[in-house]
């Protein structure tokens, strides 16, 4: 397996910048996704979403911390 092939479960932290009037609606929609493991609120309205996804195949990008 090359350095750019992935066959693992990855945890992703996604910050979602929402409008104040859309915070609750956005959270409800996010929570309907199977990949979501947690949703935390940053500030008053903006959710930080924790996802777990399985990625198979070749990476289309690498971490800036990994040597290429």
Q: Mind giving me the DSSP string for 1-68?
A: --TTEEEEEEEEEEE----GGGHHHHHHHHTTSTTEEEEEEETTTEEEEEEEEEEEEE-SS--TTS--
Write down the mean pLDDT value for the chain. Answer: 76
Residue of 21 and 3 predicted with greater confidence: 21
pLDDT band for position 63 (50/70/90)? low
63 compared with 39, residue with greater pLDDT: 39
Place of tokens 């903006």: 46
- Give residue-wise pLDDT tens across range 4-36: 554 578 888 888 888 888 878 888 888 898 888
């Amino acid at each position: 397996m090359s350095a750019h092939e992935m066959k693992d479960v990855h945890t992703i932290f996604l910050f979602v910048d929402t409008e104040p009037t859309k915070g609750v609606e956005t959270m409800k929609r996010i929570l309907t996704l199977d990949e979501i493991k947690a949703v935390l609120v940053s500030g008053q309205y903006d959710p930080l979403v924790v996802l777990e996804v399985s990625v198979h195949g070749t990476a289309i990008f690498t971490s800036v911390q990994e040597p290429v």
